[in-house]
Amino acid sequence: MQIINVVVTQKREADRKNQINHLKEELELEKKRVKSVSLDLYGREIKGSKLAPHMTFIHDASFRVDSIRQAIISKDVNKAERICDRLIGNYPTFAGAYFWKGAVAIVQEKDSECESLWTIAVELEPQNIAYALLYRNIGIIRMKIGNTTKAIEAFNTALSVAPIVDEMHKATQEQGKKPDTRISVAECYFLIARAYKAAGQKDSADIFLKKATNLNPEWKKRWNGQINIIIP
């Protein structure tokens, strides 16, 4: 029985990688076809990015994302899932579509499916700063399903972009605005510490907790608290 489970898991992983490779090929074709713009998690345009959708795509994706968010808020999960499927069908290289399909999976308590969808999202656009928050969420999902090694890997990736996001926080706060992407260096250290704690590696957990609390003492108070997924 265990051998069968291993074979099934390997096949699913192979299928997922094939899907990602196919989507990446489509993305490369899209890059060559139109000018360079990209979208954030809300389907809004980000200047200077590498993904290249048409203006029609921008408006349509933004409208559909808003519809998905409203459906999730109103707890109409089936409607949200249908819109996500249409969005992915129409724009298979739009990373945000996989983010929101993953958000629907969270509501449905399908953690493994969510992890796969969010992994596709960040692999489609690994350099898009708008998806920095996803690395945090992916790490938390991996902790929930018991894969602490992969969780630490995701948190370390989040840590690599967190200084940039910290600068975004400062800039938007100075302008009186609230940033969409919420993650910090201190939080990354805290999450890595929690992952090491879950893995039974106390010494490593203590090291990263100290790093977190040195930057922000408030994280010490949350050491035994619940870690929640953030959906913008």
Report percent pLDDT > 70 for the chain.
62
**CA separation for the pair 104, 98 (Å, rounded):** 10
> 1: burial class by Cβ within 10 Å (0-12, 13-18, 19+)?
exposed
Q: What's the burial of 92, exposed, middle or buried (CB within 10 Å: 0-12/13-18/19+)?
A: middle
Higher pLDDT, 219 or 166: 219
pLDDT at 228: 82
Asked whether this chain's domains 1-127 and 131-232 adopt the same fold, the reply is yes
Q: Are 9 and 16 in contact (CB under 8 A)?
A: no
The residues that bridge with 47 in the sheet, in sequence order, are 37
1-127, superfamily in CATH?
Answer: Tetratricopeptide repeat domain (1.25.40.10)
d(CA 187, CA 216): 9
pLDDT, average across residues 213-225: 90
Burial code (b: 16+ CB inside 10 Å, e: under 16) for 31-42 equals: eeeeeebbbbbe
Separation CA 116–CA 114 (nearest Å): 5
pLDDT at 194 (0 to 100): 94
Helix axes 95-107, 111-124, angle to 10 degrees: 170
Query: Token pair of 217, please?
Result: 């003492």
Least-confidence region, from 36-45, 116-125, 138-147, 191-200 = 36-45
**What's the pLDDT score for residue 42?**
47
H or E element at residue 38:
strand 37-39
Q: Would the pLDDT of 114 be above 70?
A: yes
Rg of the chain over CA atoms, in angstroms?
Answer: 18
CB 212 within 8 A of CB 186: yes
Residue 50's pLDDT band, with cuts at 50, 70 and 90, is very low
Query: Strand, coil or helix: what is 37?
Result: strand
Residue 122: predicted pLDDT? 85
Instruction: Identify which has the larger pLDDT, 76 or 9.
Output: 76
CATH superfamily, domain 131-232, is: Tetratricopeptide repeat domain (1.25.40.10)
| H-run or E-run covering 46 | strand 45-47
Domain layout of the chain by residue ranges: 1-127, 131-232
The answer to whether the beta carbons of residues 148 and 227 sit under 8 Å apart is no
The rounded distance, in Å, linking the Cα atoms of 87 and 98 is 9
